[in-house]
Amino acid sequence: MTTPSPATRNPWLKPLLLITVVLILPLLVFAAWGETFLSMVEQWQTEPPARWTLAVAVIAILASDVFLPVPSGPISTLAGSQLGIMLGTTVSTLGMTLGAIIAFALAKTWGRPLAERYSSTKQLAELETACADHGVWMLILSRPLPVLAEACALLVGALQMPWRRFLPTVLVSNFLIAATYSVLGQQAAVYGWLPLAVCASVAIPLAATWLWRRSRVSRQTDDV
């Protein structure tokens, strides 16, 4: 009897990782100006922009997540520090959700022809089945993770997940994430450790992504 490969058991894994590799490239650009970003944090503390100007900027920056190397964690943390928990949570939720909607809509419109071009009918059927069974949980678990969140939104969009399943899932998940970061930012501003909180909001999601990928590799090795 032939033992199914990990890619056969989890047909969504290979395309998800492929999309992740493509999306992770812009993060290298962000890493190059990470020091500049921290200096911006200090400037925001001493000379914060106008409240509603900042709110609009946060929404616009987070909504562009699929196109630019935008780390939602530190942006939402900064929003909480300057706008407070309620408004910070609201604008971060709106921005992250708009970004997810853009990625999903683009993939839903143009992703299917690309998937049909580079995948066999059998592979597409397996991916669609996996998406129907596990797509919602994939969205929930990937939402806090940099790059994987966008990769998952693109993947389920290309696989034509219905809007009625996608939108409530990302909206609730983004709200919980935004609230967590906003509380972190507000408390950090009160006690004077905002730069440390911003660094933590970058490092913790990256560490979680690394652990997720490591666990997937270990599981595949054990299953072979």
Residue 45: the pLDDT is 59
Is 163 inside a domain boundary?
A: yes
Closest CA to 139 of 122, 124, 121, 157: 157
Q: Residue 204 pLDDT more than 70?
A: yes
Task: Give residue 1's pLDDT.
Answer: 46
Coil, helix or strand for 30? helix
- Domain assignment present for residue 95? The answer is yes
118 lies in some domain: yes
> Count of alpha carbons within 13 Å of 194, Cβ hemisphere only?
25
Q: At residue 30, does pLDDT exceed 60?
A: no
Q: Classify residue 26: in a domain, yes or no.
A: yes
pLDDT at 22 over 60: no
DSSP 72: H
Considering the domain boundaries, does residue 42 fall inside one?
yes
Q: Domain residues for 173?
A: 6-223
What is the distance between the alpha carbons of residues 172 and 147, in angstroms, rounded to a whole number?
A: 19
- Domain total for the chain? 1
Q: Is residue 212 part of a domain?
A: yes
Q: What is the pLDDT of residues 35-81, one digit of tens each?
A: 555 566 566 656 667 888 889 989 998 998 877 767 788 889 989 99
Task: Tell which wins on pLDDT, 148 or 32.
Answer: 148
Assigned domain for 1 exists: no
pTM: 0.73
Query: Would you say residue 31 has pLDDT above 70?
Result: no
Question: What is the helix (H) or strand (E) element at residue 114, kind and residue range?
Answer: helix 112-118
35, two tokens:
């020091």
Asked whether residue 147 is assigned to any structural domain, the reply reads yes
Q: What is the mean pLDDT of residues 201-222?
A: 63
pLDDT averaged over every residue in the chain: 77
